[in-house]
Structure 1
Amino acid sequence: MATITVHNSLKPGAPVPFVPREEGKVSWYACGPTTYDLSHLGHARNYVSTDIIRRILMHHFGFKVKFVIIIKARRKRLLDLEKEKPYSPAQARDLVFRAFQAYAQSNLPLLAGTGQGELDEHSYQEQKEKAYGSVLAGGTLSGEGKPSDAEAKVKMHLNNMDSAALALKENSGFEGAEEILLPYLDSLYKETIDTSDQTIFTDLTQAMERAFNDDMEALNVLPPDAVTRVTEYVPQIVSFVEQIIKKGFAYEANGSVYFDIAAFEKAGNTYARLRPESRNDKALQEEGEGSLSKGLEGKKFPGDFALWKKSKPGEPYWPSPWGAGRPGWHIECSVMASDKLGEQMDIHSGGIDLAFPHHDNELAQSEAYFHECGKGGHTWVNYFLHMGHLSIAGSKMSKSLKNFQTIQDALATTYTARNMRIVFLMGRWNDGVEISPDMRKQADNWENTLDNFFTNIKARLAEAESAANGIKDLSLAESPGKGLTHELEQAKKDLDAALRNSFDTPSAMQVILRLVRNANIYMNDKNSEPSLQALEAVARWVTKIVGIFGLDATAKPPYDGLGWSSAGAAAPAHVDPQTAVKPYAAIFAKVKADVQALNLSEASIKTLLHQQTPEAEFAELEKQGERDVEKLALPYLRATSRLRDELRAIVSSAILEPSTKQAMLALSDRIRDYDLTDLGVQLDDQLDKPSLIKFVPAAKLIAAREEKAAQLAEKARQKEEARKAREKAEEEKWAKAKVPPQEMFKGDPKYQDWDADGLPSKLADGSEVPKSQVKKLKKEWDRQKKLHEEYLAKFGSTAV
């Protein structure tokens, strides 16, 4: 059997063989979100890509995966408390103004050097342009190189200032100024907050955790097998830190506990295994520690990081041997992951921005905890999988940069869950992804190609009445479509090879697209009758793979259906056949009545009106236990379509009264364009064959109908405008032609005398008209003479 390889951050370079500790089983720990606000598309990139790999391991390669995720909870409470105070409008404005100036001083130092006087909401725009205009225009702070996160942060801070300046101008209180108020309130009041009741920190984060779970469900991300939360693990964290101290790899200082990197390495271990080049990066160290990096006292070496931090007034705290404090930012993951998965795990994953210091520190403290003297270094994680950044304009999408779109907003305005997942599938999970218009277009084309393929296959199978007994175990060697079945077998091999190559989903997506396009060519070949068996085999295999990739929210393993549900559709909890078919039965009854009202004499239509019994066909399906709404609806749709097809046949062959023919055509169009379209049913007319019945989302069909109507209306408008323009030109032509040539120049103030034919002979100043001008005037006179003669010939001399 071929080997699975994976990009492992612990061994940079080419993918390495993936060999789990236990055959057929994979233990996996993923860093979850810090639930202090709504999740954004950067989170979606991380967790959807993680979900895709997890699904591939489970449902393609057959591993039993134990998947654990951590939920972290941090949220400032001060703004919520401030909003409860009885501020007058003037007092609220004063607080926002002070926060406005403090925010600028702290985050936008160049504003202070513009020489424009005190910064306020009125002078802000001019000072902003003078200080940071080059950055806003796409330049850099240094004037060299390309913009990066530093410039993105400047733009973020300026956006916050823009909102606050507008709030000040409109005197709207705190509305719009939240981002500048949070740090200012923190500096004013943080130490006065009573944190003995820790619910003030956790109530809102629990709501945010629920919102995160809702987002993941909306994105069709599988729920974890276990969820851990920091607040539930504080005693275990304290014990974990005590053990590290006992082994000599940590020390207490002023109520805090720090990891001793030097002692760890002296014992034969390696620190910063993931990012050795970043071990002395102070900025990354401080960013990784967050607020814990402030006020660090008693550290032996700058790189030593907090395992337990003494709490300051206003911060949450728990009791410990070292006094009231709280867990270090990294220790949380080590304790919870080890509790659920033991002293070693197969996979640890997270965003690439967590590699250093977060994951490197996790590794160090965990391997220190499990270290046994004389036995060499301990391996806590075998494979580290880091998901690449999602980028916008070259800068990673992150909450800290405020350059994000929430998942809720994205799903409401821009994406479906399927479309978003397709975008991520088109990029390697460990590479950065910058969503561009081209990438969106490729994703849309991929989705539409498969959507149309599934629709056409299901319609053809329904037409052949073989959908209910589809081919699940097809002997490809005996299939009439040998060329296509050979391509299917090759596609299976190519896709498996792509997924074994570090879960190469972009290549897998191309394999699927290539197979579907070849199947479409085969299906539409007019020179041969395609094998429905071969086509269905392709469609069922593609259905299985898109199910494994999580592209159908209603599909369940082993994904042996045919096609996918409408994007965004949810699986009905219970289908009542009678209720489900009511709209289709009502349309058939309406069409039947309208056809009867035509009083046609043709025997073929009378036979259809009296002999079709869709009710009996439906009753038999219901009796058999069928609950697929599309299959239950088919008897009524076929009966309706047959009536329409017969109307069209009669119109093209029979001699009819014009009014009858017009009524039949109008009814035929209404059935196709309104009655069935509004139910999500598309009829494709076929030459000498029954119309093909396709199930397509009603919204899509209605949008296409409205677009067609708009195009026709625009064409009619343009035609009408052209007609009016022609009429106006014709009217202006004959109005001009009505004037005799002898009169055309008279009354012109440029002249004062004319000859017998009405041609100017003297200019207004009494001078003779120049010969060159006379020649030109004579040509105009001749043209008018000819035009006037046309007028007289058309309207007669009495019209003058």
Structure 2
Amino acid sequence: MASITVHNSLKPGGPVPFVPREEGKISWYACGPTVYDSSHLGHARNYVSTDIIRRILMHHFGFKVNFVMNYTDVDDKIIIRARRRRLLELEKEKPYSTEEVRDLGSKAFTAYAKSNLPLLESDSAPLDENNYQERKQAAYGKVLAGGTLSGEGKPSDAEAKVKMHLNNLDSAALALQNATGYHGAEEVLLPYLDSLYKETIDTSDQTMFTDLTKAMEKAFEKDMSDLNVLPPDEVTRVTEYVPQIVKFVETIVEKGFAYEANGSVYFDISAFEKAGNTYARLRPESKNDKALQEEGEGSLSKGLEGKKRSGDFALWKQSKKGEPFWPSPWGLGRPGWHIECSVMASDKLGEQMDIHSGGIDLAFPHHDNELAQSEAHFHVCGKGEHTWVKYFLHMGHLSIAGSKMSKSLKNFQTIQDALATTYTARNMRIVFLMGRWNDGVEISPDMRKQADSWETTLDNFFTNTKARLSEAGALGAGVKDLSLAEGSGSALLTELEQAKKDLNAALSNSFDTPAAMQVILRLVKEANKSSDSLPVIEAVARWVTKIVGTFGLDASAKPPYDGLGWASAGATNIDPKVGIKPYAAAYEKVKQEVEGLALTEESVKTLLAQQNPEVEFSELEKSGEKDIEKLALPYLRATSRLRDELRGIVASATLEPKTKQAILSLSDRVRDYDLTDLGVQLDDQTDKPSLIKFVPASRLIAAREEKAALLAEKARQKEEARKAREKAEEEKWAKAKVPPQDMFKSDANYQEWDAEGLPAKLADGSEVPKSQVKKLKKEWDRQKKLHDEYLVKFGASA
């Protein structure tokens, strides 16, 4: 097993040796999502980066990983979201008049502004939808223009939150002005209705909560599947663990590390530390950060009393009216946020695990509190401090405009929206691989450009290698590996062996994927320049295939990733006969059109008679081949051979012009449309069969459209130039038609002319200055020359 180091949040500084508790095996608990809203790119950053490390440990280093993840399906955010949705549904059922709905919206608008944007308040007049825009600019104009609330530094979460609240008020103000009722004002109505009616909600019926969490859990799983994130080995849910949570908390109380107060149970940090334990091991500098402490307790914990110290955190919360509840020795209540993971992780992985992971924002207080309460639970007096987690891995933030991407800030792009408009799953994963997993990242245009270039370079390398192997008849039957001994003297094989060492070193160094990506890129560029034999190129391509498969860049690939290249989504698990239909149809269409040309050349007749791609396909299907690209090759080769033969007879035979034009048109259409639309590129070669390449149809079509647009633009410019020339010619001869004796006669600046028509006196009766006469004579001479040309071209009668 390779010597691996890893950045461990429990031991700040550089990477430390990674030594699991059991050789060859890793126990891993990952904090899953709080399932109350759609997942966004920030979640993708966390879970894709986690997935990459997991895949590297499993498929590169050979560990057996037991990966457990939870769903937080009871939490302050879930309670508030579900309860408010129910309250709005109930409100819409009330028989309100239009004016009553408007009055409700107006009150909600004012309450929202007062609670979240105090600078909008004024002594001059109450805030309403009519004076809102003016107040907004006066109070928060500098934030909207990209500044900060203080006027110093760079915008951060505080400014992002202001913009979010202003956006909500923008929508509500518009709804009030246009009298659209509830539509558009939901975000200000929800908290207002909650403040009025939250205690009236019957929470014994928990379907309002479970309907939300089940839907969001299903959506999250689809997001992860679409991103090619491996599913967990086991999934846990808080609502399925409440009895175990109660028992876990009881043990902590019995050991003297927690106390009950007014139906809630709080962790006693002081008692924990006095027993020789360390609190806030991950983020000691945040230990007394009251803002983070309050955020960790949740917004619904305000008003709960009885804490001995402000830093003590809830293990069990007394449920207030309007909140879900379960029975406990301390009364009806619900689990605290942090205790959930402690109980579920310990249940699945025992009193110590190798890895615990999550986003960096969870380090304090969530993970620090998890550590404290878990180590308190397993504490044995006299045995020293318990180690619940050996390695804590924290994924860096994904930022946008200086703020972390966050549901609460509403500055996010959902994963589904990103995949529909901006990224492919592979492209997004490449972007994340370009950065260190534990570093923060803000996706910049330059980063996207680098990722796109990396992907294109590998895509072209795989495409060209497969095309060359197909041309040689060796696709699928080539080498799986090639050692230096078998290819002595090969510079590229030397590069390959070095690349293997460099990549292993990078991945051993705390999963340094940016360095690994550069190793791959350098090797591929060397292979593109190499004159080595095809088996050597194939050996490089197969090794690169294995690594990109390990990184999860091919959703169709499965371990041990010993194929060649990355397949298009859906390239496997398709019925072969269904998958090859478009290719077979393309061949049949071309065959019929060639037969319709009624050519007399024997080479064409022979080819039409001898080719039988159906037999080749049947043999491949019988062998169990599932790769549609390989199954399509018999039809593509047959189509390409026909086209190559047609191109050959056009160049060598004497044909009727009409027949020749038909052949050329057919040849171009097959290449540029029939096959392009199937994702097949034909590269014409001199004295060799055309090279068949599989390229995404979207890319080929885009290139075709770009070429057509360039040709159209060139034709447009040519036509404009022709028209400009014609116009200039018309203007030239229109001017030339005038005799030089008449050219100055219509000019009001003069009143007398000589016999040749040259001005003699100005309009005021004075003599024309000699300098001007000289200039006018030059113009007269030019006009005479031009007029003489006109007479020669058109004749004196024109």
Residue-pair matches, total? 789
Does 2:451 correspond to 1:443?
yes
After superposition, residues 416-427 of structure 1 pair within 5 angstroms as 416-427=424-435
Aligned residue in 1 for 2:583: 584
SS state at 1:442 partner: helix
In 2, the alpha carbon distance for the partners of 1:765 and 1:293 equals: 99
TM-score by length of structure 1 reads 0.95
SS state at 1:28 partner: strand
Aligned residue in 1 for 2:566: 564
After superposition, residues 633-644 of structure 1 pair within 5 angstroms as 633-644=632-643
After superposition, residues 126-525 of structure 1 pair within 5 angstroms as 126-479=134-487, 482-522=490-530, 525=531
Aligned residue in 2 for 1:712: 711
Aligned residue in 2 for 1:111: 120
Aligned residue in 1 for 2:727: 728
Shift in CA distance, 138/788, structure 1 to aligned 2, threshold 3 Å: same
SS state at 2:393 partner: strand
What runs of 5+ residues in structure 1 fail to find an aligned partner? none
Question: Shift of the alpha carbon at 1:484?
Answer: 1.5
In 1, the alpha carbon distance for the partners of 2:752 and 2:100 equals: 84
Kept after mapping to 2: 8 A contact 1:480/1:534: no
In 2, the alpha carbon distance for the partners of 1:498 and 1:12 equals: 20
Shift in CA distance, 760/112, structure 1 to aligned 2, threshold 3 Å: farther
Shift in CA distance, 168/789, structure 1 to aligned 2, threshold 3 Å: farther
Aligned residue in 2 for 1:663: 662
Q: Deviations over 1:232-256 (max 9, x none)?
A: 1111111111111111111111111
Does 2:102 correspond to 1:100?
no
Shift in CA distance, 647/63, structure 1 to aligned 2, threshold 3 Å: same
In 2, the alpha carbon distance for the partners of 1:116 and 1:780 equals: 76
In 2, the alpha carbon distance for the partners of 1:313 and 1:676 equals: 66
Give the aligned residue type for 1:272.
A
Q: Deviations over 1:709-746 (max 9, x none)?
A: 11111111111111111111211222222222333333
In 2, the alpha carbon distance for the partners of 1:341 and 1:619 equals: 50
Aligned residue in 2 for 1:14: 14
Q: Deviations over 1:176-207 (max 9, x none)?
A: 32222222222121122111112211211110
Give the aligned residue type for 2:191.
P
SS state at 1:391 partner: strand
In 2, the alpha carbon distance for the partners of 1:255 and 1:776 equals: 108
Question: Shift of the alpha carbon at 1:90?
Answer: 3.1
Give the aligned residue type for 2:104.
L
After superposition, residues 18-29 of structure 1 pair within 5 angstroms as 18-29=18-29
Give the aligned residue type for 1:556.
K
- Of 553, 556, 562, 1:554 maps to 556
Kept after mapping to 1: 8 A contact 2:283/2:368: yes
Question: Shift of the alpha carbon at 1:792?
Answer: 2.0
In 1, the alpha carbon distance for the partners of 2:127 and 2:745 equals: 71
In 1, the alpha carbon distance for the partners of 2:170 and 2:556 equals: 44
In 2, the alpha carbon distance for the partners of 1:581 and 1:227 equals: 39
After superposition, residues 39-54 of structure 1 pair within 5 angstroms as 39-54=39-54
Kept after mapping to 1: 8 A contact 2:740/2:787: yes
In 2, the alpha carbon distance for the partners of 1:280 and 1:774 equals: 96
Bigger mean CA offset, 17-26 vs 648-657: 648-657
Question: Shift of the alpha carbon at 1:764?
Answer: 4.9
Kept after mapping to 2: 8 A contact 1:543/1:560: yes
Question: Shift of the alpha carbon at 1:163?
Answer: 2.2
In 2, the alpha carbon distance for the partners of 1:600 and 1:360 equals: 81
Does 2:124 correspond to 1:125?
no
Q: Over aligned residues, Cα RMSD in angstroms?
A: 1.9
Aligned residue in 1 for 2:784: 785
Bigger mean CA offset, 737-746 vs 555-564: 737-746
Aligned residue in 2 for 1:541: 543
In 1, the alpha carbon distance for the partners of 2:155 and 2:611 equals: 70
Give the aligned residue type for 1:179.
E
Aligned residue in 2 for 1:700: 699
Aligned residue in 1 for 2:64: 64
In 1, the alpha carbon distance for the partners of 2:243 and 2:595 equals: 80
Kept after mapping to 2: 8 A contact 1:309/1:326: yes
TM-score by length of structure 2 reads 0.95
In 2, the alpha carbon distance for the partners of 1:726 and 1:121 equals: 61
Kept after mapping to 2: 8 A contact 1:79/1:181: no
Q: Deviations over 1:562-584 (max 9, x none)?
A: 11112xx135434233x333332
Question: Shift of the alpha carbon at 1:6?
Answer: 0.3
What runs of 5+ residues in structure 2 fail to find an aligned partner? none
Question: Shift of the alpha carbon at 1:111?
Answer: 1.6
Kept after mapping to 1: 8 A contact 2:86/2:208: no
Kept after mapping to 2: 8 A contact 1:79/1:185: no
Shift in CA distance, 783/98, structure 1 to aligned 2, threshold 3 Å: farther
In 1, the alpha carbon distance for the partners of 2:399 and 2:213 equals: 27
Bigger mean CA offset, 581-590 vs 251-260: 581-590
After superposition, residues 731-746 of structure 1 pair within 5 angstroms as 731-746=730-745
Kept after mapping to 1: 8 A contact 2:282/2:364: yes
Q: Deviations over 1:457-491 (max 9, x none)?
A: 11111111111323224344113772212211111
Question: Shift of the alpha carbon at 1:747?
Answer: 3.7
Bigger mean CA offset, 152-161 vs 379-388: 152-161
In 1, the alpha carbon distance for the partners of 2:725 and 2:678 equals: 44
Kept after mapping to 1: 8 A contact 2:478/2:538: yes
Kept after mapping to 1: 8 A contact 2:60/2:550: yes
Q: Deviations over 1:102-139 (max 9, x none)?
A: 222111122225x7733233322222121111122222
Aligned residue in 2 for 1:33: 33
In 2, the alpha carbon distance for the partners of 1:9 and 1:323 equals: 37
SS state at 1:797 partner: coil
Question: Shift of the alpha carbon at 1:769?
Answer: 5.1
In 2, the alpha carbon distance for the partners of 1:781 and 1:110 equals: 78
Shift in CA distance, 305/767, structure 1 to aligned 2, threshold 3 Å: farther
Give the aligned residue type for 2:584.
A
Question: Shift of the alpha carbon at 1:222?
Answer: 0.6
SS state at 2:573 partner: coil
Bigger mean CA offset, 270-279 vs 682-691: 682-691
Question: Shift of the alpha carbon at 1:31?
Answer: 0.7
Question: Shift of the alpha carbon at 1:548?
Answer: 0.9
In 1, the alpha carbon distance for the partners of 2:778 and 2:130 equals: 67
Question: Shift of the alpha carbon at 1:782?
Answer: 3.4
Give the aligned residue type for 1:553.
A
